[in-house]
């Protein structure tokens, strides 16, 4: 496949374009103050617009969409959609809420700005715009972060800088994707909070995580009670052949606090400390939290 000829954006690179303020980038595209190749203002048929495959948002508030549709019926669409020309029709980059509301309002055409973005640029601006709005649910946010790491080669340090969060926050929220799908859905449906499900990851096995989540949900446990419940489960698993009852309470408390911080089993002996991990990715996650990775290797 021939390399796509680029100018403007392509010459400066993603870092120079999409960070740290994606909203400003979109404003600059709107008012023509940013040199964007192929920029064109046009009105296009809704039927010609394909959904954005990189859109991290899966849940849309129906009430809010209907309210936006009512506004569009009266005032029209103030902010054009951002699209790029495809082989046939257009690919949506940003503006899915406006597009959905326009359909509800009965519009057949919408105002748009077409730009020549690559797949990478399209993915990055789509994800970052949604993340910076800060109204994604935790699983959508975790999936968005994971996409930037997997598809664009972000290190956790670069990810944290780009989305304005700490590395520990990014690492911990991405770990939510290790939850069984049923538990992820409990989180999406707001039956459980991130504070409830984060301790469950210490149980490792999916069946145990799911069973524990059901217990927490049915018993309506608080976050603190959930943490204590998981600690008891882990303690019961480790009890055979161990002398946890005789361990110094201060040492045991330190183990539990480190387990909460690292999200894995930690055991402190007389002259050694053991930190458990499941695979290479889990080890790298722990090393990131401890700031022990060689950045020259990861970047």
Q: What is the mean pLDDT of residues 24-48?
A: 76
Residue 18 has pLDDT above 80, yes or no: no
Q: For residues 150 and 232, what is the distance between their CA atoms, to the nearest angstrom?
A: 36
Of the residues 41, 59, 96, 146, only one is catalytic, namely 96
Report whether 113 contacts 82 (CB < 8 A).
Answer: yes
Q: What is the mean pLDDT of residues 91-115?
A: 91
Tens-digit pLDDT profile for residues 149-204: 888 888 888 888 888 888 889 999 999 999 999 999 999 999 999 999 999 998 87
Report whether 144 contacts 56 (CB < 8 A).
Answer: yes
- Provide the pLDDT for residue 3: 38
- Provide the pLDDT for residue 129: 78
pLDDT band of 99, cuts 50, 70, 90:
very high
Q: Kindly tell me the sign of the dihedral angle through the C-alpha atoms of 209, 213, 214, 219.
A: positive
Report whether 263 contacts 202 (CB < 8 A).
Answer: yes
- Provide the pLDDT for residue 252: 80
Residue 241 has pLDDT above 60, yes or no: no
Q: For residues 163 and 170, what is the distance between their CA atoms, to the nearest angstrom?
A: 9
User: How big, in percent rounded to 5, are the helix, strand and coil portions of the chain?
Assistant: 60, 10, 30
pLDDT band of 6, cuts 50, 70, 90:
very low
Task: Write down the pTM of the prediction.
Answer: 0.64
Identify whether 96 is a catalytic site residue.
yes
Which range has the top average pLDDT, 59-68, 104-113, 254-263? 104-113
Residue 45 has pLDDT above 90, yes or no: yes
- Average pLDDT of the chain? 81
In this structure, of 142-146, 215-219, 222-226, 234-238, the range with the lowest mean pLDDT score is 234-238
Pinpoint the alpha helices (H) of 181-271.
181-188, 194-200, 206-219, 223-238, 249-262
Q: At what angle do helices 22-30 and 119-133 cross, to 10 degrees?
A: 120
Q: What is the mean pLDDT of residues 237-246?
A: 53
């Amino acid at each position: 496949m021939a390399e796509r000829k680029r100018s403007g954006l392509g010459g400066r690179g993603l870092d120079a374009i999409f960070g740290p303020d994606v909203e400003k980038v979109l404003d600059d595209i709107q008012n023509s103050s940013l040199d964007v190749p192929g920029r064109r203002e046009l009105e296009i048929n809704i039927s010609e617009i394909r959904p954005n495959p990189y859109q991290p948002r899966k849940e849309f508030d129906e009430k809010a969409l209907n309210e936006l549709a009512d506004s569009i019926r009266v005032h029209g669409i103030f902010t054009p959609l951002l699209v790029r020309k495809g082989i046939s029709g257009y690919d949506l980059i940003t503006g899915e809420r406006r597009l959905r509301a326009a359909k509800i309002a009965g519009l057949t055409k919408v105002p748009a700005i077409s730009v020549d973005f690559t797949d990478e640029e399209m993915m990055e601006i789509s994800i970052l715009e949604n993340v910076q709005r800060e109204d994604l649910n935790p699983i959508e946010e975790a999936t968005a972060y994971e996409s930037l790491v997997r598809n664009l080669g972000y290190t956790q340090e670069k990810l944290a800088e780009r989305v304005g969060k700490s590395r520990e926050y990014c690492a911990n929220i991405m770990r939510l994707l290790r939850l069984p799908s049923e538990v992820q859905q409990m989180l999406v449906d707001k039956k459980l909070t991130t504070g409830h499900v984060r301790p469950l990851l210490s149980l490792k096995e999916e069946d145990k995580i799911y069973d524990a989540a059901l217990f927490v949900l049915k018993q309506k446990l608080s976050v603190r009670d959930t943490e204590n419940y998981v600690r008891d489960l882990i303690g019961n698993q480790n009890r055979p052949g161990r002398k946890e009852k005789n361990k110094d309470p201060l040492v045991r408390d330190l183990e539990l606090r480190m387990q909460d911080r690292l999200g894995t089993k930690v055991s402190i002996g007389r002259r050694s400390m053991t930190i458990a991990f499941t695979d290479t990715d889990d080890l790298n996650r722990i090393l990131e939290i401890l700031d022990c990775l060689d950045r020259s290797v990861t970047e």
